[in-house]
Amino acid sequence: MPRQTGLFNFLSYNDFMKNILSSILDLIYKKKCYFCGKSQESVKMCSSCFDELNFSDFRANRVVKEADIFSCGIYEKNLQKLIRGLKYHKQKELAYYLAKFMYEYFEKLGIDKKFQIIPVPLHKNRIKKRKYNHMELVAEEFCKMSGNILNTELIKRVKDTKPQYKLTRAERLKNLENAFFVDKTKDLKMPILIMDDICTTGATFEEMISALKKSGIEDITCLASSSP
């Protein structure tokens, strides 16, 4: 037992020193805002650029199979750059700002529930190529802010689908057919909030909702950071 305590203290000390070193490096080499290039705040997204993000209407963007789908903003300007930087350009620090934007929007909806948060899963081949699931990073930050629980085990993507952006709605639905597997043993018996970046036709949400409902899971809400 003393050896375990010693190891814990050693690891805690290591984390502490890493944080100190990171803070010192940030002071010496100030971070520049990814959006405006200024370094006064030494952050990836300065407060001025974050404040330029605009919310959509505080109502469901659409309803799919009795599940409300909310979209926080429009895919343009800083929100577009935020999503693309996080998704394609390995700017992982931007996950915090996208989560903050989504959390502040969702909080204004006044939905009085605690959720199990499910980021839209990627197939293992896509993870291998990209190295991370950007929406999982966002969901982790969202849970820290909201006090909700992250659940990445309930539903998995088992079909390596084609990229959706060039497909019609009918093609998207066909592409996503049987793409998700639900493991009911991983259900936390709480309402579900599925999170994604862009909701274009709603096909991804629709297929996930269908898979969950086939497994007897009914209380589902969806939240996208943006719509076209």
| pLDDT over threshold 60, residue 10 | no
> How far apart, in whole angstroms, are the C-alpha atoms of residue 201 and residue 195?
15
Token pair 């989504």 is found at 102
Which pTM does this prediction carry?
0.85
Q: Quick: pLDDT tens for 140-174.
A: 999 999 999 999 999 999 998 877 777 888 888 78
Residue 220's pLDDT band (boundaries 50, 70, 90)? very high
Three-state secondary structure call for residue 73: strand
Q: Please state, as a whole number, how many other Cβ atoms lie within 10 Å of the Cβ of residue 186.
A: 13
Three-state secondary structure call for residue 119: strand
Q: Domain extents for the chain?
A: 52-227
Mean pLDDT computed over 176-199: 96
Distances (CA, A) of 180 to 12, 62, 97, 219: 38, 22, 28, 18
Q: What's the whole-number average pLDDT of the chain?
A: 90
Assign domain 52-227 to a CATH class. alpha beta
- Please list, in sequence order, all residues whose beta carbon lies within 8 angstroms of the beta carbon of residue 15, skipping any fewer than 6 positions away: none
